[in-house]
Amino acid sequence: MPEGDTIYRSAAALRTALVGKTVTRFEAERLTGPSPRVHAAVESVDSHGKHLEITFDDGIVLHTHMRITGAWHLYRHGQKWKKRRHLARVIIETEEWIAVAFSAPIVETYRELDQSRHPRAGRLGPDLIRADADLHECAARLFHYDKPEATVAEALLDQRVMSGIGNVYRCEVLWACGVHPWAPMKNVPQSTCLDLVLTSAGMLRANLETPVRITAPDVPGGLAVYGRNGQKCVRCGDIIRLQKMGEMARLLYWCPGCQTGCEPYPERDDSDEIARATDPHPAGSQFVSDIIRHRSA
Ligand SMILES: [Zn+2]
């Protein structure tokens, strides 16, 4: 699953292989926008959050977004590809390398001067991996989030707030800050917003150059909750849970024991309180269900 740091590493590899080199073949079957001319050279490779942009010296910029499924691979000529050819959305060949974007849902090009199509034109939040990113600006965007009923876990993935956070970091950041994933944004105070942003930036930046993502150095495997459902939380000993959340049903790992910050106020349910206060004996249960039936009648 590509996150900001994965895209950053892809960009670094692509930069090393492609920048300054002449393109001998460019193929993108479902491309939206103009193709770079044959024998154009690659001028730059940039990542911005999960967006990757390759600029050619004829002014064409190729923009790809990987969402959940996509990945850039680099191959030598003659080397066997790790994915099937029909999944290739972009193929860029130079004399030495073949760069392939597999399964990228967004592949488009635009001319450099046409800022109206530019994905950065006011929509994306600051890129957390950049040292000059304004983290207070991100915290302000989070605090003034335009959907107050949305959960904090959803808001963290909204690239308009800040870019670079994917699902792994989302889970790890919420755990590190002890925040309940289902907390509605209207319950999240400014200080917590800043804490979430600073923690996110710290984790992303610490992992830029490392092959294995580590957000909790004290936990075997390096992650505190992600992928650890059913195991004990190292902070409180409670059992880590896995739940699906949101439209895309992203998997959310969290600890109900210590992620209680900004916890949503539970719906009041009297019948459940009566049941819990009563003896679990079958006769007791019968008594309780009678009460509930009479109350609702
Ligand atoms: Zn815990």
- Give residue 77 CA to ligand 1 midpoint distance, Å: 49
- Give residue 184 CA to ligand 1 midpoint distance, Å: 20
Annotated active-site residue in 3, 53, 93, 172: 3
- Give residue 136 CA to ligand 1 midpoint distance, Å: 28
Q: In what order do the strands lie in the sheet with 51-56?
A: 42-48, 51-56, 60-65, 106-111
Domain 135-254: give its CATH architecture: Orthogonal Bundle (1.10)
Write the CATH number of the domain with boundaries 4-117: 3.20.190.10
Query: What distance in Å separates the CA atoms of residue 196 and residue 199, rounded to the nearest whole number?
Result: 5
Q: Are 196 and 158 spatial neighbours (Cβ–Cβ below 8 Å)?
A: no
Retrieve residue 281's tokens: 């004996």
Q: Are 69 and 103 spatial neighbours (Cβ–Cβ below 8 Å)?
A: yes
> Which residues of the chain are in CATH 3.20.190.10 domains?
4-117
pLDDT digits 0-9 by tens, 80-123: 999 999 999 999 999 999 999 999 888 888 876 543 344 444 56
Is 3 part of the annotated catalytic residue set?
yes
Q: Are 127 and 137 spatial neighbours (Cβ–Cβ below 8 Å)?
A: no
pLDDT digits 0-9 by tens, 169-228: 899 999 999 999 999 999 999 999 999 999 999 998 888 776 667 888 888 888 899 888
pLDDT of the residue at 4: 65
Angle between helices 282-296 and 270-277 (to 10 degrees): 160
pLDDT of the residue at 120: 45
From the number of C-beta atoms within 10 Å of its C-beta (0-12, 13-18, 19+), residue 115 rates as: exposed
Is 50 part of the annotated catalytic residue set?
yes
Cα–Cα nearest to 204, from 166, 148, 236 = 166
- Give residue 254 CA to ligand 1 midpoint distance, Å: 8
Label residue 265 by pLDDT band (50, 70, 90): confident
- SS3 for 157-172 is HCCCCCECCCHHHHHH
Retrieve residue 211's tokens: 């092959």
Retrieve residue 53's tokens: 């942009």
Q: Are 168 and 223 spatial neighbours (Cβ–Cβ below 8 Å)?
A: yes
> Which residues of the chain are in CATH 1.10.8.50 domains?
135-254
**Which range is least confidently modeled, 48-52, 71-75, 249-253, 276-280?**
276-280
- Give residue 241 CA to ligand 1 midpoint distance, Å: 10
Q: Which residues of 135-149 are buried (b: 16+ CB within 10 A; e: fewer)?
A: beebbbbbbebeeee
Is 21 part of the annotated catalytic residue set?
no
Among 107-116, 123-132, 271-280, top mean pLDDT goes to: 123-132
pLDDT of the residue at 297: 41
- DSSP single-letter state for residue 117: G
- Give residue 126 CA to ligand 1 midpoint distance, Å: 30
Q: For residues 117, 119, 123 and 125, what is the CA-based torsion angle, rounded to 10 degrees?
A: -160
Residue 285 has pLDDT above 70, yes or no: no
- Give residue 176 CA to ligand 1 midpoint distance, Å: 10
pLDDT of the residue at 183: 96
Give one word for 28, left, alpha or beta, with left for phi > 0 and alpha for psi -120 to 50: beta
Annotated active-site residue in 36, 50, 154, 184: 50
